[in-house]
Amino acid sequence: MGDDATRCRPGAFARAWAKAVSGTSYLPMAQAQLEEMLQRLTERLAQALRAEPFDLRIGQQVGAELVQAHIASAEGLGRTVEVIQLRLVRDLDLVVDDVEDRMARLLATVATGYARALRDRTLDEQESIRRAAMMARAQAERALRDSEARFRHQATHDPLTGLPNRTLFTERLTDAITAPGRGADRVGVCFLDLDRFKVVNDSLGHQVGDSLLVTVAQRLHRALGEHLVARLGGDEFVILVERTAGTDDAVKVAEAALAAVREPALVDGHELTVSASIGIVERPVAGTSPMDLMRAADSTLHWAKAAGGARWSLFDADRNRRELARYALSAAIPAALDRGEFYLDYQPLTSLRDGRVLGMEALVRWRHPELGVLRPDSFIPLAEETGLIVRLGSWVLAEACREAGTWPGPDGDAPFVSVNLAVRQLHRTDLVTEVRGVLGRTGLPPHRLQLEITESTMMSTVVEPVRALRVLGDLGVRVAIDDFGTGYCNLAYLRDLPVDELKVAGEFVTGLRAPGSGTDERILASLVSLAHALDLTVTAEGVETADQADRLRAIGCDAGQGWHFGRPGPAAPHLGRVPAHVDAAP
């Protein structure tokens, strides 16, 4: 075999080979690249044919390389074998001994290399497919787990503060109550609410409010780390105190929470000092439910608020029962009105000058079918809270005016009727219309109606209600400040208000001692003269003795009201009566 053998037209053979295999499988290379590669393989084939002794590795390598180059189909192999067999020797002008024998062996080695490479590749592919499938599954499972965890986290946490939310809290509380064992036979809940948070929100904006909530949440979490702290919404937080040994354990947690909240906080450049109120319930888990516990904690929180805030209160079953009864009572007001269970007692406001009955205060009573006659203190405060006072108050106003219209007196000079007005009534936009309507229907002259507004109501009253009072004042309706002296009203403030009369609180009268000796007496004296300077008449409330009446008259008080002059009762006996002891006084 000559040295120049390979110099003969390997290019032509490679081109023929390329043509034969192209189209037998997808080739990721250009035609030129393919030819170049096949040309290299052609030279290797020529080398194999000539090698002495015959080297079967070369043919196998060529087969393997074909597979690597993606000429990897049965057809591709068939055409390759064919083209080698038919053209290799001829195209390259090869001179080889035993050419047929060598050619047969060469083709066999190429086919073997090819088959092995193909098998390896298939195994590799299968393996990598298997591995990829495994990885994909693992990845999918991880993603699912992650998103489940994320979803669960979102569903159980508050987005603003990151604290557990009501759902998670309820789950944990339910577990604490119902999961047996773990030595947990008592549990505590501290229900916390920030005091006056609305003021922060309203005056500094919701953003500052939100930042404050986040700060509070972080502090509670830090201070009470081991206990579950959750945000229920708004400015309400709740702390679960598990496995308590007694109330002390829950109280300690509440105190730590109050201390954590109390620290001044720098929020968006504002230094804020907030306080919180906490309702604490701590009890055996047996016989309670999450709902019971939360309801009790909520009521207890309101006790802490009502006591002024910045404190904790401990649940008290007796007090709770009393309050529930009070609520039930106030809820029954509308039906009782429909059934006509309310009536009015009257108490005279008596002139200290001549003993004449100047007016009569209407005091509402409830003839309760089961509880007997109820005094207003047992249902009015709650009716004011719940708003039911508005309907009840309307009834009182109408009934008082109706009755007063029947009182005898010379030329409309019968006593006026004095009606207590709750703050809610004063804030109604249709107060003027209502009063006008009642006066119109009953024919009562406006100057025979007096409206009593407590000092604290007056002080908390904004522009609109004052305007309404002014309109009523212009109509001729009298306005009195009730319980004067118990609040913070000052006379200078009253000067600008449409007021006719001060009703001085009974406390002042109780304090009256020997003539000229008591501080109360001097205070009262100057109050009376100031009131007179402002053109206001003064009625003293709670006058129980003749001695008090004498002293009040000496001070210059215009009128008195109290047991000494007459107890609350039906109007008739008070009318036209001139008590002898007043008459007799100098």
Task: Kindly list the residues in this chain that would bind ligand C2E in the complex (CB under 6 A).
Answer: 347, 363-364, 375-377, 380, 389, 393, 396, 420, 422, 482-483, 506, 542-544, 562-563, 568
Ordered DSSP codes for 384-400: HHHSTHHHHHHHHHHHH
User: Is residue 120 within 8 Å of 68, Cβ to Cβ?
Assistant: no
446 DSSP assignment: G
Backbone angles phi, psi at 406, to 5 degrees: -95, -5
What residues form DSSP beta bridges with 420? 452
Q: Which does 278 bind (CB under 5 to 8 A by kind): Ca ion, ligand C2E, none?
A: none
Choice between 282 and 483, CB closer to Ca ion: 483
Q: Which amino acid is at 549?
A: A
Find all residues with CB under 8 Å of 289, minimum gap 6, and list them: 177
The CB-of-376 to ligand C2E minimum distance in angstroms stands at 3
181: region left, alpha or beta (phi > 0 left; psi from -120 to 50 alpha): left
Backbone angles phi, psi at 276, to 5 degrees: -135, 160
- Does position 482 interact with Ca ion (CB under 5 A)? The reply is yes
Q: Which does 318 bind (CB under 5 to 8 A by kind): ligand C2E, Ca ion, none?
A: none
Tell me the residue number closest to ligand C2E, measured at CB: 562
Q: Which does 10 bind (CB under 5 to 8 A by kind): ligand C2E, Ca ion, none?
A: none
Choice between 72 and 421, CB closer to ligand C2E: 421
Choice between 5 and 397, CB closer to ligand C2E: 397
- Does position 455 interact with Ca ion (CB under 5 A)? The reply is no
Rounded Cα distance, 535 and 278, in Å: 48
Q: Which does 542 bind (CB under 5 to 8 A by kind): Ca ion, ligand C2E, none?
A: ligand C2E
> Could you tell me which of 109, 83, 110 has the C-alpha nearest to residue 13?
83
Choice between 109 and 454, CB closer to Ca ion: 454
Choice between 54 and 395, CB closer to ligand C2E: 395
For the chain, give the longest Cα–Cα distance.
Answer: 164
The CB-of-292 to ligand C2E minimum distance in angstroms stands at 34
Backbone angles phi, psi at 495, to 5 degrees: -55, -35
Q: Which amino acid is at 565?
A: F
The CB-of-311 to ligand C2E minimum distance in angstroms stands at 28
Choice between 69 and 388, CB closer to ligand C2E: 388
The CB-of-162 to ligand C2E minimum distance in angstroms stands at 47
Tokens 């009606």 map to which residue?
419
> Could you tell me which of 56, 60, 25 has the C-alpha nearest to residue 41?
60
Choice between 193 and 452, CB closer to Ca ion: 452
Tokens 């403030």 map to which residue?
493
CA 396 to chain centre: 38
Q: Which two tokens stand for residue 517?
A: 């000796």
Choice between 78 and 376, CB closer to ligand C2E: 376
The CB-of-160 to ligand C2E minimum distance in angstroms stands at 41
Choice between 504 and 555, CB closer to Ca ion: 504
The CB-of-391 to ligand C2E minimum distance in angstroms stands at 12
The CB-of-175 to Ca ion minimum distance in angstroms stands at 54
Q: By CB under 5 A, what part of segment 132-161 binds Ca ion?
A: none
Rounded Cα distance, 9 and 391, in Å: 116
Backbone angles phi, psi at 160, to 5 degrees: -70, -50
- Does position 420 interact with Ca ion (CB under 5 A)? The reply is yes
CA dihedral 117, 118, 120, 121 (to 10 degrees): 110
Q: Which does 290 bind (CB under 5 to 8 A by kind): ligand C2E, Ca ion, none?
A: none
Q: Which does 137 bind (CB under 5 to 8 A by kind): Ca ion, ligand C2E, none?
A: none
Pattern 263-282, Ca ion, x by CB under 5 A: --------------------
H-assigned helices in 69-98: 74-83, 89-91
Q: Which does 422 bind (CB under 5 to 8 A by kind): Ca ion, ligand C2E, none?
A: ligand C2E
Q: By CB under 5 A, what part of segment 434-453 binds Ca ion?
A: 452
The CB-of-340 to ligand C2E minimum distance in angstroms stands at 16
Rounded Cα distance, 131 and 577, in Å: 109
The CB-of-548 to ligand C2E minimum distance in angstroms stands at 9
The CB-of-450 to ligand C2E minimum distance in angstroms stands at 12
Rounded Cα distance, 68 and 65, in Å: 5
Choice between 290 and 568, CB closer to ligand C2E: 568
Choice between 271 and 377, CB closer to ligand C2E: 377
User: Is residue 459 within 8 Å of 481, Cβ to Cβ?
Assistant: no
Q: Which does 238 bind (CB under 5 to 8 A by kind): Ca ion, ligand C2E, none?
A: none
Rounded Cα distance, 142 and 145, in Å: 5
Q: Which does 455 bind (CB under 5 to 8 A by kind): Ca ion, ligand C2E, none?
A: none
Tokens 């579950």 map to which residue?
228
Identify the H or E element spanning 241: strand 236-242
The CB-of-493 to ligand C2E minimum distance in angstroms stands at 21
Where do contacts with Ca ion occur on this chain (CB under 5 A)?
Answer: 420, 452, 482
